[in-house]
Amino acid sequence: MIKEKFNGVLPKTMDEILLIPGIGRKSANVILGNAYGVVQGIAVDTHVRRLSKLLGLTVHIDPDKIERDLMDIVSKKEWFNLTYRLIDYGRKYCGARLHDHSECPLSKL
């Protein structure tokens, strides 16, 4: 499809990239941000979803609603890095498995 519809060039807009089968907002945000520096939103993966709820940044479980909540409270200049910061935090301090949250630096706040 990319070859036929976009002349072999990965699209640079959210609207166009979402036309590609199998590409949702999460993947589109990652691709656009990494390939072109285009920031249209926040990629919500399982870490972002879990930590956003845990930190009280959203009450939702739907990734699109979580993305909207985060976009409303986080400066646009931070959108691209937020996903990676939450993923790193989740991997280093606050994994999905049952653990002692007293070891998570943000729990002290």
Q: pLDDT tens, position by position, for the chain (109 residues)?
A: 889 999 999 999 999 999 999 999 999 999 999 999 999 999 999 999 999 998 899 999 999 999 999 999 999 999 999 999 999 998 888 888 887 777 778 776 6
The domains of the chain, with CATH numbers, are 1-40 (no CATH), 44-109 (1.10.1670.10)
Rounded to two decimals, the pTM is: 0.86
Q: Is the CB of residue 42 less than 8 Å from the CB of residue 82?
A: yes
Give pLDDT, residue 94: 81
Question: Rounded to whole angstroms, how far apart are CA atoms 52 and 59?
Answer: 8
- Looking up tokens 């943000």, which residue turns up? 106
DSSP letter for 43, please: -
Task: Take residue 3 and report the two structure tokens written for it.
Answer: 């070859």
Question: Rounded to whole angstroms, how far apart are CA atoms 70 and 98?
Answer: 25
